[in-house]
Amino acid sequence: MERLHLTHRPTMKYNYLQPALEAGYIEMTIPDKPNSRLQKYRITEKGRKLLESLRQKGTTEK
């Protein structure tokens, strides 16, 4: 949330987190307990590939 300069949790959840989960770019660390206070998220291989392609695209367009 800090990197995106967002302060409203519902906006973060429904506009960013949920679509990334559904697309397979991130995954829950505790999928059996999605509302756990200990829940965290990690990037998937698909997410890593997307980041890498965006980084390469950004360096070639400059």
CB atoms under 10 Å from CB of 43, counted, come to 14
Model confidence pLDDT, tens digit, residues 2-48: 877 888 888 888 999 999 999 999 999 999 999 999 999 999 999 99
Q: What share of the chain is helix, strand, coil (3-state, %, to 5)?
A: 50, 10, 40
Q: How confident is the model at residue 61 (pLDDT cuts 50, 70, 90)?
A: low
pLDDT for the residue 21: 97
pLDDT for the residue 13: 87
Residue with tokens 């973060």: 12
pLDDT for the residue 45: 98
